Amino acid sequence: MKIKTKLKTFLATLAFLLVLSLLILTLIQIIIALKPVRHVKYKNIVFEFRDDVKKAEKIKVYPNEKILGKQFWDYKIQNITLMFKPDDNYNKYYQLAAFELTYKLKKMYMSLRPLIIEKNFEAREIENFDNITREEGVLKIIFVPPQQSNETIIKVSSNRIYLHWETPRDLDLATIKIILSALKYNGNYSLVI
């Protein structure tokens, strides 16, 4: 009789601890899933971003992410030009995006040492978005402001990338998406939690 009681108590305690362990593991998984990820690792180099990488990965790319990433690894591209229409409300956001693109892309290219990949970066003001022509050896990244965008999306056409955005945060996320696409095309990156 005593052995049955001890066995039942032991089994009840074991079941309780098992259920408690499962609840704790589930809670930890939920916390990790909700926590923003701001770092990625690419070829043993850690890239830090200002916003959540998981949200940036959800930004739509037309026609697809592979074509976007390929633009940055085309050996014919020697110059990356960032184009924007000046606006006192948005200039500071353009500067931030331009700095992040320039810094992170140069860091990406330098990760391939001893192979030397030299790309020149420049920023250029434009009056309108109608007559942006294709130039051989030049990748153009065009920031399309909220007045002319009805969604946040990245569109790739020849060696032109149109970054449409609705809010400053969307511009930041789309900028991160461009960098992630370039990293993913030549290898892959991993999230650093």
Residues pairing with 7 in the sheet: none
What per-residue confidence (pLDDT) applies to 1? Answer: 53
Per-residue tokens: 122: 């420049």
**Mean pLDDT across the chain:** 90
Per-residue pLDDT of the chain (193 residues; tens, 9 = 90+): 566 677 788 888 888 889 989 989 888 888 777 788 999 999 889 999 999 999 999 999 999 999 999 999 988 999 999 999 999 999 999 999 999 999 999 999 988 877 778 899 999 999 888 888 888 999 999 999 999 888 999 999 888 999 999 999 999 999 999 999 999 998 888 888 7
Q: Which CATH number fits domain 39-192: 2.40.160, 1.10.1060, 3.40.50, 3.30.379?
A: 3.30.379
Specify the pLDDT at position 2. 62
pLDDT score, position 11: 83
In degrees, to the nearest 5, what angle opens at C-alpha 154 toward C-alphas 151 and 155? 110
Q: Which of 161, 160, 109, 105 is nearest to 136 (CA)?
A: 160
Q: Where are the domains of the chain?
A: 1-35, 39-192
pLDDT of the residue at 141 = 96
Burial-class residue 155 by CB neighbours within 10 Å (0-12, 13-18, 19+): middle
Structure confidence by residue, pLDDT tens digits, 22-78: 989 888 888 777 788 999 999 889 999 999 999 999 999 999 999 999 999 988 999
